[in-house]
Amino acid sequence: MGALWIFIEISMILDTMLNFLNYWRNYSGLDPEEMFDGWLRSYMIYYPELLVKQLGHWESLDKLREVMVSRILPRLDEWIHDIIEAWMNIRANAEDVFSRARISLKTDLDPLIVLYVGSGCGAGWATTVSDKPAILLGLENIADLGWISEERIRGLIAHEFGHLYHMKLRGEWSKFEELEKDPYFQLYSEGFAQYCKHLIMGYRSWHVAIGDNWIDKCSEKIGDLASKYLDDSKRSDVKAFYGSWLNVWGIKHAGYFLGHELINRLTMDRGLEEVALLSKEEVRELVKGFLEELSRI
């Protein structure tokens, strides 16, 4: 952990690519179970806090292993060139996005960026590492989604910065991630981050869009999407609206679109900071009312 702290203090980027490439050269093409053991012993061993966060996401080592062996490691060779291209574009663009974000949002937020090849916890993850605001960028998810261009990378970083800005305004970090387990709060949170992203980018940028006419499809089905979100919320299972491997009626990431429409509505008669500071109870009431209204369209 001492080396980790030194690296953070100097550059504000924890770049694990060198250790990942050393691991990949030694384990490429082997049985996925062997690759997983190597991932633990030859790569993640250098980043214990990063491994602990992934274990927390999957809730057990067995589940993490299952995801890695079935979904990630068999495709690592297929993704390797996109992983490297995404890594290069992140290194080339991150600081400029941060500068724009600090100006656009009038904040001094200066997060740590962590570049890693992990277990599918997400292309972007706004969280804390060693008690510091951090953006974890999962290069395996980025490659899988095809978000490797400069525009997609910039949009992803801006979106995650928006999450951290929201956490900072509320004075909540780990508590915020707990609040996001509520489907209504998650829609509000993702919408807020997307709204901030558009402010940072200076135009409506949809890095989450997958497939042709994504915005048109979301707009056309907005009433049905709202109705399904309400139904899925009752079961506390809205993964299909956000997950990289899931979709709703063939539309991936529909939750980001719904969330952005929510924040657009809320900012019509409130300032952005007022929206950011809504209580959990207010969020639940406003989101539920918004979805019910849309579902009647």
Full-model pTM:
0.91
> Which segments of 41-84 are extended strands (E)?
none
| 6 vs 248, more confident | 248
Residue count of the chain: 297
Ramachandran region, residue 130 (left: φ > 0; alpha: ψ -120 to 50; beta: rest): left
Query: Could you read off the pLDDT of 186-229 as tens digits, one per residue?
Result: 999 999 999 999 999 987 777 777 777 888 888 899 999 999 99
Q: What is the model's pLDDT at position 132? A: 93
Structure tokens at 255: 């939750």
Contact 196, 162 (CB under 8 A): yes
List CB contacts of 83: < 8 A, sequence separation 6 or more: 117, 139, 140, 142, 143
Structure tokens at 7: 């690296």
Rg (CA), the chain: 19
Query: Could you read off the pLDDT of 95-135 as tens digits, one per residue?
Result: 999 999 999 999 999 999 999 999 999 999 999 998 899 99
Percent of the chain at pLDDT exceeding 70? 95
**Span 169-186, average pLDDT:** 93
Question: Phi and psi (nearest 5°) for 216?
Answer: -60, -45
Give the up-direction half-sphere exposure of residue 181: CA atoms within 13 A in the CB hemisphere.
Answer: 5
Provide the residue ranges of all domains of the chain, joining segments of one domain with +: 1-170, 180-297
Contact 166, 172 (CB under 8 A): no
Q: What is the model's pLDDT at position 203? A: 77
Q: Confidence class of residue 9 from pLDDT cuts 50, 70 and 90?
A: very low
The answer on pLDDT for 1 being more than 70 is: no
Strand partners, 112: 134
Q: What is the mean pLDDT of the chain?
A: 92
Query: Out of 45-49, 156-160, 177-181, 276-280, which region has the weakest mean confidence (pLDDT)?
Result: 177-181
Helix (H) or strand (E) holding 112: strand 112-116
